[in-house]
């Protein structure tokens, strides 16, 4: 019997069979950061990007992206998402914006990929809306923060290096 459930007995990639699993409450959150530079940072903060309200559009795009995860990642299951939120924290010290995506469902499989996809799409949207001002923006430090529910139990990300660089949960949200 193959213990690695993402491959069949012949080594072919397959969608994991979750039909026998029980529905449970599932939650996941992920975060990432985009470094935009001073000029872009100031224009976002003062709502002077010509394409519109950058963070509002990025929030909507990230939520839409999370809902489309199964269309983007081949072996992801289609999930009924019960809640998805994206919050941003602007950090003037390094002219960056942190995005945190939280996703909830009740189902047979987790929502980690949806949370990670939501963060990525939100950051890409910020880039897209601001690239006319500066194309030298960079995205990174994208990772799962935590997840709960399911057979594998709870997970909490712990990486002191990222915490030391300001990726801790900032209390102020913009």
**What pLDDT, on a 0 to 100 scale, did the predictor assign at position 91?**
97
Please state the pTM of the whole predicted model.
0.86
DSSP H or E segment with residue 139: strand 138-148
* CA atoms of 1 and 119, how far apart (whole Å): 36
pLDDT tens across 82-127, in order?
Answer: 999 999 999 999 999 999 999 999 988 889 999 999 999 999 999 9
pLDDT tens across 118-127, in order?
Answer: 999 999 999 9
Q: What residues are annotated to the active site?
A: 128
Question: What would the mean pLDDT of 129-151 be, rounded to a whole number?
Answer: 95
Positive or negative, the CA dihedral 36, 51, 103, 91 is positive
**What pLDDT, on a 0 to 100 scale, did the predictor assign at position 162?**
56
Contact between residue 47 and residue 171 where contact means Cβ atoms under 8 Å apart: no
Residue 159: CB atoms within 10 A of its CB come to 11
Q: Does the pLDDT at position 46 exceed 70?
A: yes
54: Cβ contacts below 8 Å, ≥ 6 apart: 44, 125, 126, 129, 130
Q: How confident is the model at residue 172 (pLDDT cuts 50, 70, 90)?
A: very low
Residue recorded with tokens 């081949």: 74
């Amino acid at each position: 019997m193959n213990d690695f459930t993402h491959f069949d007995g012949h080594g072919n990639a397959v969608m994991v069979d979750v039909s026998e699993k029980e529905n449970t409450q599932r939650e996941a959150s992920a975060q990432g950061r985009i470094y935009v530079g001073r000029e872009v940072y100031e224009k976002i903060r003062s709502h002077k990007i010509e394409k519109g309200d950058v963070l509002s559009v990025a929030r909507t795009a990230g939520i839409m992206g999370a809902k489309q995860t199964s269309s983007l990642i081949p072996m992801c299951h289609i999930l009924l998402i019960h809640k998805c939120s994206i919050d941003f924290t602007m950090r003037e010290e390094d002219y960056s914006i942190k995005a945190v995506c939280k996703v909830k469902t009740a189902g047979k499989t987790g929502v980690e990929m949806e949370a990670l996809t939501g963060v990525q799409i939100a950051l890409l949207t910020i880039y897209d809306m601001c690239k006319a001002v500066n194309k030298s923006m960079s995205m990174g430090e994208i990772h799962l923060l935590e997840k709960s529910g399911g057979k594998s139990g709870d997970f909490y990300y712990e990486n002191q290096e990222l915490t030391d660089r300001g990726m801790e949960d900032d209390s102020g949200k913009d």
